[in-house]
Amino acid sequence: MLVQKNGQGVWELTGMAGRVGAARSVTSNLHGGGHAIRAEILLKQWLGSQEKAEKAMKTAEKLGLDAAAYLEDSFGTLCELALALAINREGQIYVLEVNPKPPARSSPAPATVAPTARR
């Protein structure tokens, strides 16, 4: 999932796709033989109905936008976030990772380690 700020500085969902791993693989990395598929198609197959797929996608979108707002409040200005999510057969969503990209016009800051990462 990709969330980005629009021209008015408001977070928006700009992309969502699923990944399917290669046969007998435990990962879905594209460089490891996995392939991308439209989220709508994958979720309908995975969850068993269009209604469940739409519900999961709406929930995932809200999660992505809420995460973006929270992370920006916590860490400062961001312009886009890529979220890796897992969705089980019941439609429960799990966040695997979130990768930020700083604004292009921001100056580089010295590397810091968040207090929670030191524990």
Single-letter amino acid, residue 77: T
pLDDT classification of 44: cutoffs 50, 70, 90? very high
Q: pTM above 0.75?
A: yes
- Region 25-29: mean pLDDT is 87
Q: What is the pLDDT of residue 102?
A: 52
What is the residue whose two structure tokens read 């580089």? 108
